[in-house]
């Protein structure tokens, strides 16, 4: 019988899927923005990644729907793509008008869950480890799919923004507010509301 030599790979490819809305909730609680370069360095070390790719999912307000300019947002997306090498998936917020007893109300919806799940499924053969920045229990089916494909999956979120199913469904859960490494950037500043 001929001996067959098996090559064991010493590489770990990590794909990170970031729900920007989930990131925002953690930032509001902390009162600081993430320093995304530091966060990526932390994740790479934490998961012994030899290669890492980050996907960032966000919905944004269309120009003219705010009393302030939304142009700086595009500079941020360019920084993510060109500066950090992220893949940015974005779409405009949808405005839905509803009639209520108090009058017409406009709600905004910008869920990117489907896009995130499709990417994680379509790219399954490209990574060994998936990191999901979300606490939404709708992703439990995705977590189970990834695990059933013999991949590891870790959940990153923050207290009060993660379901029990997501805390316990993957191979591990990390509360980003309790990370003891500096992954934080500048302080949040809120826009002043115009007093009438």
Dump pLDDT digits (tens) for 37-76. 999 999 999 999 999 999 999 988 776 666 666 667 889 9
Q: What is the CATH number of the domain that holds 28?
A: 3.40.50.1010
Confidence (pLDDT) at 195: 40
For residue 67, being part of any structural domain is answered with: yes
Residue 89 has pLDDT above 60, yes or no: yes
For residue 4, being part of any structural domain is answered with: no
Residue 193 has pLDDT above 60, yes or no: no
Residue 18 has pLDDT above 70, yes or no: yes
For residue 89, being part of any structural domain is answered with: yes
* 119-133 per-position pLDDT tens digit: 999 999 999 999 999
For residue 5, being part of any structural domain is answered with: no
For residue 6, being part of any structural domain is answered with: no
Q: For the chain, what is the domain count?
A: 1
For residue 127, being part of any structural domain is answered with: yes
For residue 99, being part of any structural domain is answered with: yes
Confidence (pLDDT) at 194: 43
Domain that holds residue 158: 13-187
Cα 75-81-86 angle, rounded to 5 deg: 135
Alpha helix stretches (DSSP H) within the chain: 20-30, 36-46, 71-78, 113-122, 140-148, 164-169
Report yes or no on whether pTM surpasses 0.75: yes
Mean pLDDT, all residues of the chain: 88
For residue 3, being part of any structural domain is answered with: no
């Amino acid at each position: 019988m001929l001996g067959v030599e098996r090559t064991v790979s010493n590489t770990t490819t990590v794909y990170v899927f970031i729900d920007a809305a989930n990131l925002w909730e953690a930032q509001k609680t902390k009162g600081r923005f993430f320093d995304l370069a530091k966060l990526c360095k932390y994740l790479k070390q934490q998961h012994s990644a030899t290669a890492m790719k980050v996907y960032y999912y966000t919905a944004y307000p269309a120009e003219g729907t705010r009393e302030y300019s939304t142009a700086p947002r595009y500079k941020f997306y360019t920084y993510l793509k060109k500066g950090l090498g992220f893949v940015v998936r974005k779409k405009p917020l949808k405005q839905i008008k509803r009639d209520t007893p108090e009058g017409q109300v406009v709600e905004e919806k910008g869920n990117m869950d489907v896009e995130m799940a499709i990417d994680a499924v379509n790219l399954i053969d490209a990574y060994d480890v998936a990191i999901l920045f979300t606490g939404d229990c709708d992703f439990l089916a995705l977590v189970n799919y990834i695990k059933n494909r013999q991949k590891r999956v870790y959940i990153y979120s923050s207290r009060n923004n993660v379901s029990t199913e997501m805390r316990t469904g993957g191979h591990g859960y990390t509360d980003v507010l309790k990370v003891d490494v500096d992954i934080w950037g500048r302080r949040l500043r809120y826009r002043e509301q115009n007093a009438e």
